[in-house]
Amino acid sequence: MTVHGELEVVPGATRSEAAKALADFTTSYNAADKAYDPALDADRVTGSLGAINQAGLKARQKNHPDGNPDHSPLELTDARYVIPKKAGWPRWFLADTDSNRDQDGGKLDTRWLVVFVKSGPDAGWKASYLSVVAPSRMPALAKDGDGRAKPVAVDSTELAVAPEDLSTQYTQYLQKGTPDVFAPGSATSGWREARRTTRRAGFSYQYIDQPLDSGTFGPLGLETDDGGALVFFSSKHFERQTAAKGLRPPVDQDVEALLTGEVRSTLTKERISSEMVYVPKKGSTKDGGKVVVLNRLPGLTAAKGS
């Protein structure tokens, strides 16, 4: 009997395929970082990580045309591959790795979690999400009868928030404080408070947050042991700074490199961020039944002056 590849539920990748994807990504990432050339890893990144990576390299290339004088190769070791089964495309997997970029001189141990996606049978593997988290904060993942991770449907009704709704609810929360489904933390209540209390004489600030949840920016999730989910999703954020008459918003070199228009009285910065969150199952009392942001990776992707 012939089973159509797009209908059969199969592992997203073999372990050797996953290892090669991680190695290829690391090699390309290091080449691009050393030369400050976005073209050198453009075919290895996508989604929010791709947008952040490519914009950052573009800015640094403009400011350092001779490359990165402080380049230190990224090393991703002790890789543990989490490869869920699924039907159709895209297929994906998670590489849970140890990096040589631990903070505080190595005193704070962290894991680098890189999500790889493949859009079709003839496409290559690309890194779409990157999260950095302490091992102690990682929820235990559920496994199926074959010992594989269990993917979560984007429209799951078993969770406190469906993965497909996370970006919209997160950006609405940042704007209005509702819906109140996110646990307090630096990426939620702390960020709202920091915006509210931002003050500088002669300047006003406005913030706009937009969901980013389709195509290569779509959410990806894995079931946890307790019936919840570990979910990766993306969002977009604008910060507009308006100066009083006679003043001009300051523009640093990274903003200048991505700037369109002329900054006279207004500067608008556009950022994309990727979030890794724990979503409890519906009705759970863990963490108050709220979504916990485990990591947020933001990056400046554009700037506009007027």
3-state SS track over the chain: CCCCCCCCCEECCCHHHHHHHHHHHHHHHHHHHHHCCHHHCHHHECHHHHHHHHHHHHHHHHHCCCCCCCCCCCCEEEEEEECCEECCCCEEEEEEEEECCCEHHHCECCEEEEEEEECCCCCCCEEEEEEEECHHHCCCECECCCCCECECCCCCCCECCCHHHHHHHHHHHHHHCCCCCECCCCCCHHHHHHHHCCCECCEEEEEEEEEECCHHHCCEEEEECCCCEEEEEEEEEEEEEEECCCCCCCCCHHHHHCEEECCCCEEEEEEEEEEEEEECECCCCHHHHCEEEEEEEEEEEEEEEC
105 pLDDT more than 60: no
pLDDT of 135 above 50: yes
Q: What is the pLDDT of the chain when averaged over all its residues?
A: 94
CA distance linking residue 207 with residue 269, whole number of Å: 10
Q: Which fold is adopted by the domain 1-138?
A: Nuclear Transport Factor 2; Chain: A, (3.10.450)
Q: What is the mean pLDDT of residues 67-74?
A: 96
Select from 86, 91, 114 the least CA-distant residue to 19. 114
User: How does residue 62 score in pLDDT terms, banded at 50, 70 and 90?
Assistant: very high
pLDDT at 7 over 80: no
Give the residue, 294 or 288, on which the prediction is more confident: 294
| pLDDT exceeds 50 at position 104 | yes
Question: Where exactly does CATH 3.10.450 map onto the chain?
Answer: 1-138
CA-based nearest residue to 89, from 9, 1, 2: 9
Classify the C-alpha dihedral 15-231-48-274 as positive or negative: negative
